[in-house]
A and B are shown apart, each in its own frame.
Chain A
Amino acid sequence: MSWIGRPIPRLEDPALLTGQGRFVADTAQGAAAVRFVRSPVARGRILGIDVPNDLPAGVRVITAADLADVRPIRPLLHRPDYVAIGQPALAATCVRHVGEPVAAVVAPGAAQAEDVAELVFVEIEPEEAVADLDLALAAGAPQVHAEAPGNLLIDGRLATEGFDAAVAAAAHLVEIEVCSRRQSAMPLEARAAHASFERATGRVTLTCSVQMPHMLRTAIADHLGMRESDLRVVAPDVGGAFGQKMSLFPEYLVLVWLARRLRGAVAWIEDRRENLTASAHGRDQRHRVRGAFAADGRLLALEGDLRCNVGAYSSYPVTCGVEPLMALAELPGPYDVRHYRARARGVATNTCMMAPYRGVSRPVITLAMERLMDCAADRLGLDPVELRRRNLVRAFPYRSATGLLFDEGSYLDCLERAAATVDLPAFRARQAAARAAGRFLGVGFCVFSERTGYGTPAFAARGMEIAPGYERVEIAMDPSGNLEARIGASPHGQGLATTLAQLIADELGVEPAQIRIAHGDTDRTPYGWGTFASRSLVIAGGACKLAAAALRDRLARLAGHLLEADPGDVEFADGRARVRGTDLSIELATLARQAYHQSHRFGDAHDPYLAAHATYDPAGTFSNATHAAIVEVDPETGHVAIERFLVVEDAGVLINPMIADGQVHGGVAQGIAHALFEEIVYDDEGNILTASLADYLPPTCAEIPPIEVQHLVTESDATLTRAKGLGEGGAIGAPAAVLNAIADALKPFGVGVFEMPATPQRLRALIRTAQAGEVP
């Protein structure tokens, strides 16, 4: 019986349920505490740093002057439209955003480190700062980096041939601008690291809450000028990440530098204020899009002016190109449009840097496309579902206008299923009755494609100096017959220790519980790229399948030898190797014991070490989904209540449907948060106004409605497991579904809803403006 497709409870849970999880802070006992002194202003020149001269024993303060041999963080893209900029480990001459680290205090205890940090006075001459995306693009704006005129860090352009002619032939031009306010991924465990120097070997172990441990090892070794073999990076239990923990951060350079300099152990456990001000943000974007539609509603051409506020620095290794370049390549989404022209800019401002956050640009470009579809449907007098129906990709494989290759999906089927499930005609009747009674209901759809599981070609196409993508898996059976698979992926809540074990169990005829998945330790696992971009189950999963099959072939030869049978006739089930069509069999534990301890019986060619490895680097696959939201908006208060939220999703073969649903739930909740609640706010001077969870508002269970999930299954021929990734889809689709539903509800008021979060204040302002007779 196959383990694939079974919703088995996760193997990783018992420790986490009983308080035995090991997060970074749980490993830091005995380490000296590090506290960073951070810039209180958004932009200015550092005139001096005043360190108290009567520091208590065991306390020290370091500044940029101590770190002269540490290279600035300066990630590269090999493309002419990119400007590389540097980020110092500690600011030396100037500061570029509130929260930028300027000095580090080391003390025996955390409270003492905080006390001393209060006494370090950084004298800064403030300069005019710019925090807003479009203000930074305006003529005469303050320059965040001298080497980036106009604050342009990246300026990507694409245009298909014949674009202008296609626009000229259109019957309708529909143009909108959407705005997404800045978000924080806000993992519940903030960043944290513990660096420990081992005197006997001169090595440092960095235990760090990170998604990409191997990349971090390489990056820190490069920037500190140390041998990479002198550094071990361990990602223990990681309390959520969502992209925020992919990057090389200055704090980690300082930690490893300190551990080596002090020949001891130091730990930095980020607090929530630091996390909200100084880790990374995302999705601070404005997009103007224009659709050229034929009279029958076919989208003939699409144009985009895509702007992303990428903050003061460029995140390493993905660079500040990650948002604009993804927006540029993927704006057309699931729609068959042959003519496309777009410009995508990454704009520097005096704000915390941008790094990937679940879905990266797709929540916002999907908002742009899906609002455009609804507005166009209005203009053309078509039902929004019908307009989408006329434009969705139907024939596969499909090559998009930007060159992406879509494997087979169920775009139309998901839409039809969603429309049928919400029973659109019945809803319209209910909506009309409610309106007559002074209540405002709305339905919104969002159709999207989710590019997942992509390997090195996709990253190389962006021009990345460091191009991630492959995954290697090493699998070994010990003499007792138990298995360990060592992976380069680095799960932190996705349940890979369970799903990968399910995949391997099927190849080898054992139970998942017999398989340990080793991850998150660069000393123990093969070089790999970690867990991000909805990639791990597809890529590490494919490598697991290949490695397990290679091990199975070896075991079949050994079993064939012992059972005097053709290895091709050996099959594996219930922990045994059996000769097909006979009652001959041997327990795997016995076979393993023989292989290791009676190796002489297998002849000279026998390698007693029962192990195999494989590397997998797929081109990628597209999941797809339709989200539908039904909301009620109270026009008096601007409050939005989500009455129903439906996801019809196709991620190919589901290895563990319970875990898959969990990923969808979590993504949708973050998407609803994006649509309605969460917003990092800076004032005009670049002061951050949302530095606590009393101001930045992640939703609770009181705000998140029940989420219905239905799955269609298009088995992917683009992946070895026939599975597609789905980690980001919930966050990609939910915002547009909610905003379309709000816009539908408020149609009687004649307002357009294009900005998120659509807070009560914003909705009230729209309604007030419309009621005052002004054009919104």
Chain B
Amino acid sequence: MTEKVTLHINGVRYEAEVEPRRTLADAIRDDCGLTGTHLGCEHGVCGACTVLLDGRPVRSCLMFAVQAEDAEIRTVEGLADGDRLHPLQEAFWRHHGLQCGFCTPGFLMLAAGVLEADPEIGDAALRDALSSNLCRCTGYQNILKAVRAAAAEMRAWPSADR
């Protein structure tokens, strides 16, 4: 038994035939071919599959594709503006905020959602928000450094002027 579902991802419309039990993560990866969203645990702990759903970070492994029918979804593939990296991507690169890179898309989308919701977020709240996701390589040192740097950059250059 399958159902038609329409997903809007990074401004592109995708139509897929999915079983009701198909997770949003699987639909993004396998039906829409956007493999930048990774699966690390499939039970909502690691956050590697984090995407933005109507601007809010969500675990795409904990939602069904059919639940995302009318939402605007953003994934790591939509973060850069063409060849111009998003300030978060630039900062992760410059500050060595990634090693194996598997958790990176989830952290980027988590941080993008957090900073867009609250550009002035304080350090304790930022650390608390980023504790949603797991990284096994970096010990989080440079992820925090990168997100702080990107936050400053985004405050100094709001998106229209970047």
Q: Which residues of A contact B (CB under 8 A)?
A: 7, 9-10, 12-14, 16-23, 25-26, 29, 111, 186-190, 237-240, 242, 269, 271-272, 492-495, 658-659, 661-662, 665-670, 692-694, 698, 700-704, 706-707, 730
- Shortest 6 CB-CB contacts between residues of A and residues of B: A19-B36, A239-B102, A16-B101, A669-B139, A493-B100, A665-B139
Known: A16-B98, A186-B136, A693-B134. 17 other contacts (CB 8 A): A17-B101, A18-B85, A187-B100, A188-B134, A237-B100, A239-B102, A239-B103, A272-B42, A272-B43, A493-B101, A495-B99, A662-B138, A665-B138, A692-B43, A701-B127, A704-B141, A707-B139
Residues of B within 8 A of A (CB): 19, 21-22, 29-30, 33-43, 45-46, 48, 75-77, 79-80, 85, 89, 92-94, 96, 98-105, 108, 127-128, 130-144
Contact A19 B35 (CB under 8 A): yes
Contact B103–A658 (Cβ < 8 Å): no
Name A14's contact: one of B42, B93, B132 (CB within 8 Å): B93
Q: Are B48 and A188 in contact (CB under 8 A)?
A: yes
Residues in chain B near residue A237, CB distance under 8 A? 100-102
CA distance A706 to B144 in the complex (A): 10
CA distance A668 to B79 in the complex (A): 31
CB distance from B79 to the nearest CB of A (A): 7
A693–B43 touching, CB < 8 Å? yes
Kindly identify which residue among A19, A701, A706 contacts B105, using a CB–CB cutoff of 8 Å.
A19
Q: Closest Cβ of chain B: how far from A278's Cβ, in Å?
A: 15
| Contacting residues, chain A, for B76 (C-beta < 8 A) | 17-19
User: Per DSSP, are chain A's interface residues mostly helix, strand or loop, or mixed?
Assistant: loop
Give the complex CA separation of A28 and B85 in angstroms: 28
Contact yes or no, A18 B43, CB < 8 A: no
CB of B109 to closest CB in A, whole Å: 10
Q: A18-B80, A19-B77 are in contact. Are A9 and B96 (CB under 8 A)?
A: yes
Q: Which residue of A lies closest to B75 (CB)?
A: A19
Report the minimal beta-carbon distance from B38 to chain A, rounded to whole angstroms.
Answer: 7
Whole-angstrom CA separation of A654 from B136 in the bound complex: 23
Chain B residues, CB < 8 A from A13: 92-93, 98, 101
Q: List chain A residues, Cβ under 8 A from B99.
A: 240, 493-495, 662, 666
With a cutoff of 8 Å between Cβ atoms, the chain B residues found around residue A698 in the complex are 134, 136
27 A-B contact pairs sorted by A residue (CB < 8 Å) = A9-B94, A10-B96, A13-B101, A17-B98, A17-B101, A17-B108, A18-B76, A18-B79, A19-B37, A19-B105, A21-B36, A21-B101, A23-B35, A25-B35, A111-B21, A111-B22, A188-B40, A239-B102, A271-B42, A272-B43, A492-B100, A661-B141, A662-B141, A670-B139, A701-B131, A701-B135, A704-B139
Contact of B136 among A21, A271, A666, A702 (CB under 8 A): A666
Contact between B139 and A272, CB atoms less than 8 A apart = no
Taking CB as reference atom, which chain B residue is nearest A22? B35
A187: nearest chain-B partner, CB-CB: B136
CA distance A690 to B139 in the complex (A): 22
- Please, which residues of chain A bring their CB within 8 A of the CB of B132? 700
A766 to chain B, nearest CB (A): 28
Please give, as numbers and ranges, the residues of chain A lying within 8 Å of B141 by CB-CB distance: 661-662, 665, 704, 706-707
Contact A17 B137 (CB under 8 A): no
| Cα-based distance from A190 to B41 in the complex (angstroms) | 8
Interface centre among A659, A665, A694, A703 (most CB of B within 10 A): A665
Contact of A702 among B39, B128, B137 (CB under 8 A): B128
| A700 to B92 Cα, complex, angstroms | 18
- Measured CB to CB, the nearest residue on chain B to A491 is B100
- Report B-chain residues with C-beta under 8 Å of the C-beta of A21: 36, 101-102
Closest to B30 in A: A29
State whether B46 touches A693 (Cβ < 8 A).
yes
Q: In the complex the two chains form, is A701's CB within 8 Å of B102's CB?
A: no
When distances are taken between beta carbons in the complex, the residues of chain A under 8 Å from B29 are 25-26
Shortest beta-carbon distance, A522 to chain B, in Å? Answer: 21
Whether A189 contacts B100 in the complex (CB less than 8 A), given A240-B136, A692-B45, A693-B46, comes out as: yes
A186: chain B residues within 8 A (beta carbon): 136
Closest residue of chain A to B147, judged by CB? A701
Max chain A C-beta neighbours (<10 A), residue from B22, B34, B100, B108: B100
User: A707 — which chain B residues lie within 8 A by C-beta?
Assistant: 139, 141
Is the CB–CB distance between B43 and A240 below 8 Å? no
* Residues in A whose Cβ lies below 8 Å from that of B22: 111
User: How far does the alpha carbon of A146 sit from the alpha carbon of B89 in the complex, in Å?
Assistant: 56
If A693-B134, A707-B141 touch, whether A188 touches B103 (CB-CB below 8 Å) is: yes
- A16 to B131 Cα, complex, angstroms: 21
Q: Inside 8 A of A19's CB, which chain B residues have their CB?
A: 34-37, 75-77, 79, 105
Q: Across the two chains, which residue of chain B brings its CB closest to A492?
A: B100
Closest CB-CB distance, A110 to chain B, in whole Å?
8
Name the one of A25, A190, A669, A693 contacting B45, with C-beta atoms under 8 angstroms: A693
CA distance A668 to B137 in the complex (A): 10
Min CB distance A726 to B, Å, is 14
